[in-house]
Amino acid sequence: MPKYITSSIDILRQVKLEQPYQNQMSSLAAGTLEQLDMELDTDKKKAVFWINCYNAYFLILRRDQQLNRPAIYRARKVLIAGQKFSLDDIEHGILRRYRSKISLGYLPSLFTPNHIKALAVEHLDHRIHFALNCGAKSCPPILSYKIALYDQQISVATENFIINESVLDPIKKTLKISKLFLWYQADFGGKTGTRTLLQKVLGQDLKGYKISYADYNWEEDLSNWA
């Protein structure tokens, strides 16, 4: 298995077990961006690597380095291939293909560094929102993603999150869903794309349904593992 992806899996495992992870950190920090880019030559590999790194480093920064919001997202403390990244760089720059954190995802992020653009996925996959964990109770559980299993893993994660976080009332014709669908509306293809996805996962014709958004539970939960 490729070096960087293996290290991303290993560091997440070590963090989960609360075991030393300095060797994995050093492995991720070594090398160059060119070497990293050569290894992550497909969107699937990029997703596996960066999701694992995001989830591992969020816990390292929060649990072990005691960073709080919003600094934890902005601080460039994730050293990979000789370059320092922030969690925002990983999520919004690389995995969301440099989309803005605001504007419901409809606008690009201005002044994105060239190395972020070079590392970014070619196509934004809305399913990453059901894989990234920011330590809150309303976040999806953490799973160690692997190349051979990625499509199956991310699809199951998406379905489980939607089913568990949705409140459907067929009598009143109402559906309450996660605020992730509002914050990143454009990533899901707008309101139409969101409704199509929900109908597919929930197995329910949502014509005539009123869709609203549940409050996001920001209570901390650093042990939410799949």
> What mean pLDDT is predicted for residues 150-162?
98
Does residue 1 surpass a pLDDT of 90?
no
How many whole angstroms separate alpha carbon 71 and alpha carbon 214? 25
Report pLDDT for 114. 97
> What mean pLDDT is predicted for residues 214-220?
97
User: To 10 degrees, the CA torsion angle through 111, 115, 116, 117?
Assistant: 80
Q: Which residues pair with 80 in a beta bridge?
A: 83
> What mean pLDDT is predicted for residues 77-88?
98
Model confidence at 2, pLDDT cuts 50, 70, 90, reads: confident
Mean model confidence pLDDT for the chain: 97
Per domain, the residue ranges of the chain are 3-135
Structure token digits, residue 222: 């650093």
Residue 15 neighbours by CB distance under 10 Å: 21
